[in-house]
Amino acid sequence: MSKILVFGHKNPDTDTITSALVYAYLKQQLGVDAEAVRLGEVNNETAFALEKFGFDAPRLVEKVAPEAAEVILVDHNEFQQSAEDIQDVTISEVIDHHRIANFETANPLYYRAEPVGCTATILNKMFKENDVEVPANYAGLMLSAIVSDTLLLKSPTCTPQDVKAATELAAKAGVNLEEYGLAMLKAGADLSDKSLEDLLSLDAKEFEMGSSKVIIAQVNAVDVNDVLSRQAELELLLNKEVAEKGLDLFFFVVTDILNNNSVAVPAGQLATRSAEAFGTILANNQIELKGVVSRKKQIVPTLTEAFQ
């Protein structure tokens, strides 16, 4: 089993899927037998990007140890977000832009984590460092990831490095950054074909915050009422998830991509404390999150500090 598998987190988003494809390609150019795989279903936004630039989704795997002794993680590092049998393989590399938590290896590895808005921004640098040209279609994938993770360069996670990379990659991909970016985000925000069960798992990540077990799920929408009009049913599903998974909090966030605000619907014993963490109260079991769009920079740190 000499092949190395490259993959991102469960419930994959655009950065996870495209970064796996892009980094596997770069490793192949450097003589490594690498294959991109995925740990979950592809969402509408990612499907839009893959079709636009002529890619199939990486193949779906349930476990990685039966296929490879060595793996590379992109866009994540926390074990509860990774493959179920992640501790049965050797992690040789991590390329990420998130906090580092619940991560330990027996052997040295190449670990690259930078405080930028997107994994693709780091990968763009790595192509240059290795003197490998970025093909137009792979540039399109990286651009898509940056647009997704930074909400078209408007998220507080966005850095000047992300803006520079996005501008450069859009030119290589031959697309208009604003036009393509908005079309992709709108494709991802079209929830008409999604059930509430789908929305709960579409982009959900599990976190350990002190002694608390927390899942934060986030969906983008053009109109938050597309989701919140079904709140009664949503709350039943959230409470079911809390009970079945032994959660202290399921924090479900709907983000308005046009106005850059969010509304959260929390469930679990920490629901009230989650509202207090943002300096507000629960009203109709909703938390108004004005100006909040980033799980990584605005939601996870706030809740982590509150629950320590």
Q: What is the pLDDT of residues 88-144, one digit of tens each?
A: 999 999 999 999 999 999 999 999 999 999 999 999 999 999 999 999 999 999 999
Q: How many CA atoms lie within 13 A of 159 on its CB side?
A: 12
Confidence class of residue 2 from pLDDT cuts 50, 70 and 90? confident
Tell me the two tokens of residue 167: 């501008």
Q: Tell me: the pLDDT tens digits for 128-180? A: 999 999 999 999 999 999 999 999 999 999 999 999 999 999 999 999 999 99
User: Average pLDDT of 61-81?
Assistant: 96
What is the C-alpha to C-alpha distance for residues 12 and 302, in angstroms, rounded to an integer? 23
Percentage of the chain surpassing pLDDT 70? 100
pLDDT of residue 192: 81
* The pair of three-digit structure tokens given for residue 129, joined into one six-digit string: 């460092």
Residue with tokens 């108004």: 288
Residue 144, token pair as written in the block:
């898509």
SS3 260: coil
Q: Contact 63/7 with Cβ under 8 angstroms?
A: no
- Residue for token digits 């579409």? 202
Q: Measure Cα distances from 155 to 43, 94, 233 in Å.
A: 20, 24, 30
Name every residue whose Cβ is closer than 8 Å to that of residue 93 and which is 6 or more positions away in sequence: 72, 73, 109, 110, 111, 112
Between β-strands 70-74 and 204-209, what pairing exists: parallel, antiparallel or unpaired?
unpaired
Count the residues in the chain.
Answer: 308
Question: Per residue in 271-300, pLDDT tens?
Answer: 999 999 999 999 999 999 999 999 999 999
Is 248 in contact with 254 (CB distance < 8 Å)? Answer: no
Q: What is the mean pLDDT of the chain?
A: 96
Spatial separation of the C-alpha atoms in residues 201 and 215, rounded to whole Å: 10
| Angle separating helix axes 44-52 and 177-189, nearest 10 degrees | 140
Confidence (pLDDT) at 258: 87
